[in-house]
Structure 1
């Protein structure tokens, strides 16, 4: 009796210890296991896959929320796999009792007791997939633990993320894309039945390899769930005969450089602003174009929506896999010489400040400034020439005369502010800014053109939501309209175009920025390591490509701005009675400064006031006491002028 007593005590202590250990274990949050590793997916604005990166183990697996899944599929899955899913605590005791009874009565289990929660823990941890009694008991414990910490919805989301659907396809998003080329939000009954049957035997039930087995499995699912869900008998009869898809399709890869650019972000799924068809067309155009150029010449192009900054196509290079052309480099983010592409901005700034008029006449003659002797691209001079002709011919001398008046250091400083300090590591380009001396990336250049064409709207490109409008403007709306009017011309076939080309030193870079009604197209061709070429030019190499892109995409030509004849003929220069007193900072400009001092340029002999306080002494460097909006005023004789500007430091 005494020995029996000790045995009972020992058993009681052991059971208490085991139950206590299980209780503690179940109270601990479960590991998310294989949910940590999901594919990176880039989708177009239409929701189609542009680029897919598999998991480190080679699976196509995307995270799923229940809002991604057709509710009828959830009902079908629960009705077939686990009718008491919403009631039990991870383990269905009634199903276990039934399965045990079958085993005793028939010597085998005729219906399983594995719940969706138990299936989910197997999917989370591969070690729980073994078919042994010990592993089955552990599955139950893990299922109870999972149910204690996760909601039923979270368990279903994990299931729909990890369930296998044949080959390396895991999760409902990958499955519907691969088998049906659609999202899982709106499925047919035939598709849903297949998706319920497939995870139970994902290789033996693949409809592309074993169509009979897949078809039979689908029929079993429908037959079983029809009475449980009160499905219409005639509908079920039709679906029982409906065929399954014959092959599995995997998405092709597009926008490789954008995918690479976003790969360092924590986010794994991106709904981008890119149009898949546009992206594909431009990739094909560049791929065809590059074949006509010797190695190592490369090409890149992008299409950006005006006013919103939304990127609609983004091709960082042609022949991504080419080693000799260094195709893995994203040339849309590479610093290059922009050639003459900043000339519209230079003329716009001069128009904005009243330094030239719309009908201005330049002297295109030899120029020598402080050891710098610029020439035109064709090494000749045109003499007297109008602004429009000088801009369309991309003459260097008129642009240099204009930037000399504008002030190259001031323009570079404004561009640096506009581009959020991206240029602060570059030396002053001086007058060479007009001919490519200030290096820019294609992305920066298209941002500048967004500011030229649509001042006050988005100034940065965006790959997802529209970029916000900005008060930081480079030029006024009036100057913008005049520049667009100056750029518009008709080709020999009557086609109206507006574009600016550029060619860098030694023909290392060729550019075309083409303006359309709602979009801007940028094309670049050049050599990866700034090797010289004998034939690349903006007009001869890049413009035909931007023109082909616009035609292929069906982009509309820009509307000619309505400029009054008075505005065209009228010079914006200050009157002789009250000349311009403040040259810099310009009215409504934004200044980003590393110190509290800003440069001021204006008429000598004036009295100067900052925010109503008189400035004593030298005004070339004025100290700003507070960041934000400041007012600078100049007073001379009976004339006064006030500029309002925003300072950030």
Structure 2
């Protein structure tokens, strides 16, 4: 019996030895793990972010351009098109999809999912990984994927665990989710959930549906593999996996899951690049504006702001709705005008097409000058260090290129093979346009269209381009005469040939302007003369007030371009930008007060701190009475002059080339409109300036070169080239009642001493109608 007890005692002693070893190994393992994590936290296993970096992780944020109605017009960025949003701006179905798919126990752990980790170790990762959302965020923010040996990968994983636990202490669960959505690269310039939502579905994140949210969350697995544009089938399958997970964890019902899994992706791809989207020309202007502002405004620490990485917010005056209406008006009118231009400028009809009035030598000189101004020449000359002879030779060698075209009435592109020199001639055959719309009281620019297609025509015809303004300059002459001589719109002048002798105003020779068509006769009121753009009477007025007085007024009206003090300015020979002309005309609508056009109202940094706040720049230029009388004169243009088609309905015609009925003049405006058409010599430029009490809009249409123009005034006048865009734009603005574009009369001064009611006048010329304009171009 004693022997048995001795054996049991020895067995117990042997067993206790194993227990001690177990606890020693266990505690040693815990100690080692603790030590490893401690070393990692000290940064001995690799770089670790400090407290400041955790609190303010460095990410590149795009600068956002915001319209006056709160829409994003576009962004400035180099590599990262990222605009962060808060958790409150995320839809619940997007958050549910993320948690169900990526981290089902997200709300239960503190950065590391112990169950998931043990499962991953036990099954060697075959039954799913163990990375939590916090760990994935840590990797996105502070680490790049290691391609080295297993020890470095393990070291990175340990550091991610440490960072994840720190993030959990630093931020709330909601903030971690928001950061993860904001940091992820969804490809195709879709950096962060806001860009991804806008680019793939043309909507803000808060408006994402369940299936759209599921698709975007599915991309977290591997956005390079699950790219909606390149692998739609794979993306759909992955989306359906996310929907399955959402049903598995009770976020959606089986019925909803089964229904959504049968649907297509429903992409509405809208790329956000600098050359695409809305208000591209305005954004091009804004790029230069911001670079000047940054140069003169430093950060508190003395460093410069970065337009592409610092996440600035630029609040602009552009109204996204009005901008869209202006762009659509251009897209409606220009292809039809261009189609007629091509018909009239075939090689058979015009051997020098698209040029008129130039001989072969002049054309070659023009093309060579354009060659030297091209990006191709600059690249070969300065980047490739090629000689002029080598560069010129390259322009005669056929090359593959993508060129602009109007296809079925829409802007399009076509791949072709063409000599670069021929492409220059090809692009010069296209008519260009510019549109600017502004609130005359505040100076806020509401719409800015610098051309037809920014990708192919980058020269901005709102502020950058300057062209002869033609008869749109005449209201400045009339306003000067009213201001200086107190003329009434009802005052009459003889419509007979008139000359200003040589040297009277410093002019080198006698100036004898002719009326369009060479027609004269009888007397005309000033109202009738301006409505029908009678040159002789405008000449008589500038003879009475002197060119310098008119120049002085033009400068006060905001015209900074050169306006020579010579009589011929009365007919619009100065080259002025559309931007300047709209600002000047706004003074008449604003009761004689000039308000400098405003495009940017404020600038904020990424934290919402206001860095810039605009201050209005205004000045009294002419009396309220003079401004009102000038407006009443310009109302005559749309009542019985060259702009009267705004109030009539033209005949509909069938255009075989478009295979559709083209509506004549669908405007039929009945409200007061003041305006002026303008046509320069040889029909090289067509203008229309139109005003209602709270909106002034200018339109210009013409070729890149003055030698590109219609042969006759029928199609080449401002009423045919520019006025239809104004009419289409205003028709859309009036249809959108939320814009509150005025249909009221211009405000009459209380103490008006000049007679503006010419209704009792018996002059037969007052009944003259507008010049002939083709129905099929005026809609």
State the TM-score, normalized to the length of structure 2: 0.59
TM-superposed deviation, 1:442: 0.5
Give the match for residue 620 of structure 2: 473
Please point out which of 435, 456, 474 is paired with 1:302. 435
Q: Deviations over 1:443-472 (max 9, x none)?
A: 110111111122377834445669987652
Contact 1:311 1:462 in 2 (8 A): yes
Q: Structure 1 330/99 Cα, relative in aligned 2: closer, same or farther at 3 Å?
A: same
**Equivalent residue number for residue 50 of structure 2:** 27
CA RMSD in angstroms comes to 4.5
1:358 counterpart = 2:489:
yes
Q: Give the corresponding residue for 1:286.
A: 334
Counterpart of 2:414 in structure 1 is none
Look up the SS of the partner of 1:331 in the other structure: coil
* Mapping 1:236-635, distance limit 5 Å: 237-243=255-261, 244-251=263-270, 253-254=276-277, 255-264=279-288, 265=290, 266=307, 267=312, 272-275=318-321, 276-293=324-341, 294=354, 295-296=428-429, 298-307=431-440, 308-318=442-452, 320=454, 327-333=457-463, 334-364=465-495, 365-368=498-501, 369-370=504-505, 371=507, 372-378=510-516, 381-382=520-521, 384-406=523-545, 408-419=547-558, 423=560, 426=562, 428-455=564-591, 459-463=595-599, 471-488=618-635, 489-490=639-640, 491=644, 493=648, 495=668, 498-505=674-681, 507-516=683-692, 519-531=695-707, 533=709, 535=711, 540-553=716-729, 554=731, 570=755
CA 1:395–1:349: 2 relative to 1, 3 Å: same
Residues 165 and 175, structure 1, Cα contact 8 Å, conserved in 2: yes
Give how far 1:387 is off: 0.7
C-alpha contact 2:683 2:711 (8 A) present in aligned 1: yes
* In structure 2, C-alpha distance between the alignment counterparts of 1:16 and 1:548, rounded to whole Å: 74
Shift of 1:285: 1.9
User: Unaligned stretches of 5+ in structure 2?
Assistant: 1-31, 291-306, 342-353, 355-427, 603-613, 650-667, 735-741, 758-779
Q: 1:406–1:144: structure 2 CA closer, same or farther, 3 Å change rule?
A: farther
Is residue 80–residue 224 contact of structure 1 (8 Å, CA) maintained in 2? no
Deviation at 1:500, TM superposition (A): 1.0
In the alignment, the residues of structure 2 paired with residue 142 and residue 414 of structure 1 have an alpha-carbon distance, to the nearest angstrom, of 67
Cα offset, 1:49, TM superposition: 7.0
How much has 1:121 moved relative to structure 2?
3.4
- CA distance in 2 between counterparts of 1:274 and 1:246 reads 28
The answer for the alignment partner of 2:91 in structure 1 is: 70
Give the deviation of 1:477 after TM superposition: 3.6
Distance 1:100 1:414, change over 3 A: same
2:133 to 112, 116, 139: 116
Mapped to 2, the partners of 1:236 and 1:261 lie a distance apart of: 52
The answer to whether the 8 A contact 1:485-1:560 is kept is no
Return the alpha-carbon distance in structure 2 between the equivalents of residues 477 and 388 of structure 1: 19
More helix by share: 2
Residue 165 of structure 1 contacts residue 171 of structure 1 at CA under 8 Å; is this kept in 2?
A: yes
Retained in 2: the 8 A contact 1:205–1:214? no
Please give the alpha-carbon distance, in whole angstroms, between the structure 2 residues aligned to 1:214 and 1:429: 72
Instruction: Tell me how far 1:47 sits from its aligned partner.
Output: 6.9
Deviates more, 1:334-343 or 1:443-452: 334-343
| CA drift at 1:263 | 3.1
**Match of 2:361?**
none
The structural deviation recorded for 1:441 is 0.6
- Superposed CA deviations along residues 149-180 of structure 1, whole A, max 9, x for unmatched, are 77766644442233244666442223333444
Deviations 1:408-427, CA, capped at 9 Å, x for gaps: 434434543443xx62x736
Post-superposition Cα deviations, 1:582-627, rounded to whole Å, max 9, x if no partner, equal xxxxxxxxxxxxxxxxxxxxxxxxxxxxxxxxxxxxxxxxxxxxxx
Query: Could you say what secondary structure the match of 2:583 adopts?
Result: helix
Deviation at 1:257, TM superposition (A): 1.8
Please tell me whether the aligned partners of residues 99 and 112 of structure 1 are also in contact (alpha carbons under 8 angstroms). Answer: yes
Q: 1:438: how far off?
A: 3.8
SS at structure 1 position matched to 2:340: coil
Verify the 8 A CA contact 2:687 2:721 in the aligned structure 1: no
- 8 Å CA contact 2:444–2:597 kept in 1: the answer is yes
Residues 474-495 of structure 1, C-alpha deviations (whole Å, 9 max, x = no match): 3344333333332231447475
Distance in 2 (alpha carbons) for counterparts of 1:564 and 1:15: 81
Change (3 A) 1:432 1:69: farther
Distance in 2 of aligned mates of 1:88 and 1:248? 35
Cα deviations by residue, 1:349-386 (Å, 9 ceiling, x for unpaired): 43244531232223453332344514134356546431
What is the CA–CA distance in structure 1 between the aligned matches of 2:91 and 2:35, rounded to whole Å?
50
Aligned length: 542
Larger deviation: 530-539 or 127-136?
Answer: 530-539
The 1-side partners of 2:331 and 2:435 are apart by 10
Question: Distance in 2 between the 1:34 and 1:209 partners?
Answer: 35
Secondary structure of 2:468's counterpart equals coil
1: CA distance between counterparts of 2:42 and 2:750? 92
User: Given that residues 377 and 395 in structure 1 are in contact (C-alpha distance below 8 angstroms), is that contact kept between their aligned partners in structure 2?
Assistant: yes
Q: Report which stretch shifted further, 118-127 or 21-30.
A: 21-30
